[in-house]
Amino acid sequence: MRFAAFRNLAQNYLTGSLPAFLGKLTRLQYLTLSINALTGVLPSELGNLKNLISLGVSTNKFVGPLPEVVENLTKLEQLLCLGSA
């Protein structure tokens, strides 16, 4: 497999902040990071995920607003961000 279109990292006890390199996974269509203990702000590099259809970041400890670049995700149909501090 040359690339992964789906990454489900929910309930994996992940901690810390999201690395900026996630923005290099440009073929991702579905990314679920829900129900972890991730902190900090969502990196603006998420705006590079032009093929993203669904993004789940619920039930984490993120702070601050969604990056404005999320508006560039024209294929995004589902954004789950409930319960993020």
pLDDT in tens, the chain (85 residues): 356 788 899 999 999 999 999 999 999 999 999 999 999 999 999 999 999 999 999 999 999 888 888 888 999 999 999 886 6
Domains in the chain, ordered, with CATH?
6-80 (3.80.10.10)
pLDDT at 6: 86
Say what the pTM is.
Answer: 0.88
pLDDT at 85: 60
Q: DSSP per residue over the chain, as a string?
A: ----SEEE-TTS--EEEPPGGGGG-TT--EEE--SSEEEEPPPGGGGG-TT--EEE--SSEE-SPPPGGGGG-TT--EEE-TT--
